[in-house]
Amino acid sequence: MFSESADLYDAIYSAFKDYPAEATRIAAEIRAVHPQVRTVLDVACGTGEHVKLLRSQSGLAVDGLDLDAGLLAVARRKAPAAEFFEADMSNFELEHRYDAIVCLFSSIGYLRTLDRITSALTCFRRHLNAPGVVVVEPWFGPGALRLGTGDTRHADANGVRVARTSHVSVSGQLSTLTFDYEITSESGVRKVRETHELGLFTPDEMLSSFRAAGLTATFDPDGLTGRGLYVARVAR
């Protein structure tokens, strides 16, 4: 998925994303529902930045799960005390159970369909200790994206310069993000492309998926970054 940008991911996103503030907010959201929370699984953890910060800032025992081996390689270097699992977030089975499960930075959108989102949320619930908390940061809903070519973002990492230009298109309930990279290093300049597809769902559709998975959720339309935030617990 991030086959061309795993080693550049942190440089690109840390330029505009406040990971420490997000980690503080996430810990507060979890503890507001479950004050005794100790263990957390970050599903679709990417390079493990939230894992690292939740551990260091909040003293939580956080592990990670992701489908992308390249991102997990970065995460394991960054947070060596954590356990990381390579698996599909819609269908995984771990020996561990956790007090809370989080799925951040719109990763849930990569599941593309409501059926797969419901499968993922059911999987999350199955991996919870009682009482358990689930926190999900969604992708944008229908009509919210600006279509066409977006801004070009620039970053530097270990002597490598990268410029990334995005393009967004929508067909039905599916958005397609095309990232074009120009990567400059000592060996020269190379241009690569990644394509990402994310589903577009309304809050009502997402809340219905939570209910189908046996979870009761509330929705904050602002959330961490303006994309909204769902906080859920096992339905009684």
What's the mean pLDDT in 122-142? 97
pLDDT (0 to 100) of residue 1: 59
Amino acid, single-letter form, for residue 210? F
CB 165 within 8 A of CB 194: no
**Which tokens in the block code for residue 212?**
């189908």
Name which of 2-6, 61-65, 120-124, 174-178 the model is least confident about.
Answer: 2-6
List Cβ neighbours of 133 (8 Å cut-off, separation of 6 or more): 29, 30, 33, 34, 37, 99, 100, 101, 231, 232, 233
pLDDT (0 to 100) of residue 15: 80
pLDDT (0 to 100) of residue 16: 86
Q: What is the pTM of this model?
A: 0.95
Q: Tell which residue, 135, 148, 175, has the closest CA to residue 37.
A: 135
Alpha helices in 79-194 (DSSP H): 114-126
Separation between Cα atoms, residue 205 and residue 217, nearest integer Å: 12
Percent of the chain with pLDDT over 70: 97
Specify the CATH superfamily of domain 6-140+201-234.
Answer: Vaccinia Virus protein VP39 (3.40.50.150)
Sequence spans of domains, the chain: 6-140+201-234, 148-199
Q: Using one digit for the tens of pLDDT, what is the confidence trace for 47-97?
A: 999 999 999 999 999 999 999 999 999 999 999 999 999 999 999 999 999
Separation between Cα atoms, residue 149 and residue 65, nearest integer Å: 31
Amino acid, single-letter form, for residue 222? D
Separation between Cα atoms, residue 156 and residue 42, nearest integer Å: 27
CB 62 within 8 A of CB 54: yes
Specify the CATH superfamily of domain 148-199.
Answer: CAC2371-like domains (2.20.130.10)
Rounded to the nearest 10 degrees, what angle do helices 114-126 and 203-212 cross at? 40
Burial 26-35 (b: 16+ CB within 10 A, else e): bbebbeebbe
Q: Using one digit for the tens of pLDDT, what is the confidence trace for 3-14?
A: 556 678 888 888
User: In the predicted model, is pLDDT for residue 147 greater than 90?
Assistant: yes
pLDDT (0 to 100) of residue 9: 86
